[in-house]
Amino acid sequence: MSAPTTRVPPIRPAAPSFHGAGLTHAGLVRERNEDSILTDPSGALWAVADGMGGYGHGDVASDIVIDRLSLVAEDGLAGQVLRARLTEANHAILDKVREPGMNQMGSTVVAALIQKSVATIAWAGDCRAYLMRGGALRLLTRDHTVVQEMVEQGLLRDGDRERHPESHVVTRAIGFEPDVEIETVVVPLVPGDRLMLCSDGLTACLSDQEIAGTMRQSDSPQALCNALVVAALDVGAPDNVSVVSVFATGD
């Protein structure tokens, strides 16, 4: 008689936990910091908003975006709740513009909501999200800019985008039009992944190769944020610089 077969259940890797940090700096040229960031001790919700507008009102717009995002229900359908809050922010900024003494303002944004080890990234404008996995860097977002459209149409080489006179002209932003289209992407995360959100003040200073090198060398989210901001300051940082980083760990 043969011995009974013992079925051994498959070993499933533990779901990662998420730890993050953020840092924002006015840079070396701008008098005001019109960026705002959102960090979440629970590890679920993260964002960078880059305000735009004359007379210092860009910070008002980015604050409105972050305030609305902070109300996201972390147990809702990620894409829907992120779009809903950013739509609310769009309306709130347009209402603010109508107040006496205000002028046109808006904000680009990138946000990440992590649920059950899956990150939903939502963005409008040229704030970016990057993922590093196994030492390789991947850009998760696509810039909503005039220059990006030119690159995609074959009218401009990718390496020439920063030198183009319209390099920072965005085609989408929160608060510029009655309706705003929010783009999203969904990314499953595994232990060892490193997620980074940033304003264009960082990517205007550092290449993807330089960002990747710093992400590989940093041993904590705060160390990564510090290193990236310092690297941007070292090359002049003509714009506000904001970084949020999230590490997925197996413990």
Q: Tell me what pLDDT residue 67 has.
A: 98
User: Which pair of tokens denotes residue 202?
Assistant: 């960082």
In the block, which residue shows the tokens 């969904």? 186
Q: Do 174 and 164 touch, CB atoms closer than 8 A?
A: no
Q: What pLDDT is recorded for position 55? A: 58
Is the residue at 96 inside a domain? yes
134 part of a folded domain: yes
Considering the entire predicted model, what is its pTM? 0.92
Q: Is residue 85 part of a domain?
A: yes
In a domain, 10, yes or no: no
Residue 6 placed within a domain: no
pLDDT tens per residue across all 251 residues of the chain? 555 555 655 555 678 999 999 999 999 999 899 999 999 999 999 999 999 976 568 999 999 999 999 999 888 899 999 999 999 999 999 999 999 988 889 999 999 999 999 999 999 999 999 999 999 999 999 999 988 888 888 888 877 777 777 777 899 999 999 999 999 999 999 999 999 999 999 999 999 999 999 999 999 999 999 999 999 999 999 999 999 999 999 86
pLDDT of the residue at 161 = 73
Please state whether 175 falls in left (phi above 0), alpha (psi between -120 and 50) or beta. Answer: left
Give the domain range for residue 124: 17-249
Q: How many domains does the chain have?
A: 1
Neighbours of 153 (CB within 10 A): 8
- Within a domain: 1: no
Task: Confirm whether 45 is domain-assigned.
Answer: yes
Q: Is the residue at 158 inside a domain?
A: yes
CA angle 34, 38, 39 (to 5 degrees): 140
- Whole-angstrom Cα distance, residue 88 to residue 69? 9
Q: Strand pairing partners for 112?
A: 46, 121
Structure tokens at 175: 């608060």
Spell out where the chain has E strands.
17-25, 35-38, 45-53, 105-115, 118-124, 128-133, 136-139, 183-188, 194-198, 241-249
CATH number at residue 65: 3.60.40.10
List the one residue out of 194, 147, 154 whose CA is nearest residue 171.
Answer: 147
